[in-house]
Amino acid sequence: MLIGSHHIANNLVVAPMAGVTDRPFRRLCKRLGAGLAVSEMVASDPRLRATAKSRRRTDHDGEVEPIVVQIAGADPRQMADAARYNVERGAQIIDINMGCPAKKVCNVAAGSALLQNEPLVAAILSAVVESVSVPVTLKIRTGWDRQHRNAVRVAQIAEGAGIAALSVHGRTRACAFSGTAEYDTIREVKRAVRLPVAANGDIDTPEKARAVLEHTGADAVMIGRAAQGRPWIFREIRHYLDSGEHLPQPTVAEIRAVILEHLDDHYTLYGEETGVRTARKHLGWYCGGLAGGESLRRAVNQLDNAAAQIAAVNRFFDGLAMRGERLAYAAPALAPASAMTAPWVEEDLAA
């Protein structure tokens, strides 16, 4: 798949998720098989650029190229300025957020709220595309609500404005993350434009990935919640699409190594105090697929330093080894919609 001049290694994309797809998570997913990873969204408001949170989000040190930064806002001039600002700091692709359903974003007429205003959509897309020399992509939903699915019209506007690729979540803004994703609208979008299109929503198994690609005709699949605590899902899907066969589930030893690698990178980016606090959600997701993982989740949530968190992880896996357990990881059910509106997510959307 090509996005502008960038050749993407495969058709598996890590979805942007506030409070989740930070640099350590993106690097891990790419190492485990993702071809592309999109950053957490960065607010276009220049007053927020000096915050520690925004600085972390524009830190791409050591990240595998191409580097994709997602920007969010509702003012064409600010969005264009934000695009230039992030390109100056290493972004090689700019992604525009018109898909986020969170109230804090939609209440300022950004994210998926923009789908109600097609002229403003056109103005933002044109302003951003004209402001930078790198490819610009767009993430949308199928529409504002089920009675107003306008993804095809928005996709055609995007193509006319010079957008290089689209990703479409198979829900409306009103649906948020409830119910099940529908893929017929994504198929209509793919048929209506000549752009690369990534299908997003409820893709949580290799079989589902192949079925969605076949049904929609999409060029790629974008995976979000299913990668939380399961970043190796990308290599599983990639192997299945290439061979039609399943990889064995990772052993507990492999999972221990992934978790420790993730924690080390996480603490390095955030520092100990913030890193310990924000690592808890990732550890909770990892625990969801481990036999006896609930005890580990409870333990790490009570700890307030990095060494203690690491020690708790090692004790848990040492216990499995002492009992001679070599259980494969059991993939948990897709995180419920409530997980995407948890307090830490709402807090992260502020900057």
Catalytic residue list: 100
Helix (H, G, I), strand (E, B) or coil at 2: strand
Q: Which DSSP string do the residues of 51-105 spell out, in sequence order?
A: SHHHHHHT--TTPPSSPEEEEE-S-HHHHHHHHHHHHHTT-SEEEEEE----HHH
Question: Which runs of E-coded beta strand occur in the chain?
Answer: 2-3, 6-7, 12-14, 36-43, 68-72, 93-98, 136-141, 165-169, 197-200, 220-223
Start-to-end Cα distance in the chain: 32
Q: Which amino acid is at 268?
A: T
CB-side exposure of 328: number of CA atoms within 13 Å? Answer: 7
CA distance 203 to 207: 9
Cβ atoms < 10 Å from Cβ of 62: 10
Q: Which amino acid is at 107?
A: N
H or E element at residue 155: helix 151-161
Report which of 191, 186, 188 is spatially closest to residue 202, judged by C-alpha positions.
186
- Say if CB 52 and CB 85 are below 8 A apart: no
CA distance 77 to 28: 34
**Alpha carbon of 165 to those of 128, 136, 218: distances in Å?**
14, 7, 11
